[in-house]
A and B are shown apart, each in its own frame.
Chain A
Amino acid sequence: AQKVTQAQTEISVVEKEDVTLDCVYETRDTTYYLFWYKQPPSGELVFLIRRNSFDEQNEISGRYSWNFQKSTSSFNFTITASQVVDSAVYFCALRGLYNFNKFYFGSGTKLNVKP
């Protein structure tokens, strides 16, 4: 089965705090791809990152970083020094190699950053 679980429904932090959004996935594919998207209040999903299953190197982009751990089937997303503009719903998604038209989305984590 292919499944993505985002156990944190909603998180509230104060500006400048660090926050980690959890993503746990299940897949039978040996090759797969993981994604994070941001959905601000306007509604459009904005692509943030894609990670291949054979590349476990962590990635940092400005205040954003991603920790991919195959051993625990997790692909967590950390925002350092959060800002009010980071307030949004964040989705983690999984895509397998062979059914690549099918993206499996988690239910999303709503992040509220308070000034």
Chain B
Amino acid sequence: DGGITQSPKYLFRKEGQNVTLSCEQNLNHDAMYWYRQDPGQGLRLIYYSQIVNDFQKGDIAEGYSVSREKKESFPLTVTSAQKNPTAFYLCASSIGLAGNPADTQYFGPGTRLTVL
């Protein structure tokens, strides 16, 4: 089955720790994205990557870091510099630059991060 997987589903972190959220896709998509969702809020873009070994900051990149070493994978690290990391994190992918302008983003199931 083609799709996007995120792990873990729930993650608990102590203050001061870095944690890494996994996102994998087997859709052969070039572009991948990370969003943050707070309770009762919409989605805010953290980082996105159009192609392997390239990524760009979104609207709220401070305190986060990413890597894109493989087409299928786009892990997100929430660092200790992120002051309020408790949120729901969603990963998405799309065909990207090679696709038509009506490119659609498809989402993974999300990871709920709680800082204790």
Q: A44-B107, A45-B107 are in contact. Are A105 and B42 (CB under 8 A)?
A: yes
Question: How big is the B interface, by class?
Answer: 20 to 34
> Separation in Å of the A89 CB from the closest CB of chain B?
9
Indicate which residue in A35, A44, A102 contacts B109 across the interface (CB closer than 8 Å). Answer: A44
- Whether B42 lies near A91 (C-beta < 8 A) is yes
Q: Is there contact, CB below 8 Å, between A44 and B108? A: yes
The distance from the CB of A109 to the nearest CB of chain B, in whole angstroms, is 11
Contact residues of B: prevailing secondary structure: strand
What is the size category of the interface that chain A forms with chain B?
Answer: 20 to 34
A11 to chain B, nearest CB (A): 14
Q: Is the CB of B50 within 8 A of A101?
A: yes
Judge if B45 is at the interface, Cβ distance under 8 Å. yes
Which chain B residues (29-76) contact chain A, with CB distance < 8 Å? 31, 33, 40-43, 45, 48, 50, 56
Interface centre among B42, B92, B110 (most CB of A within 10 A): B42
Which residues of B are interface residues toward A (Cβ below 8 A)? 31, 33, 40-43, 45, 48, 50, 56, 88, 90, 92, 101-110, 112
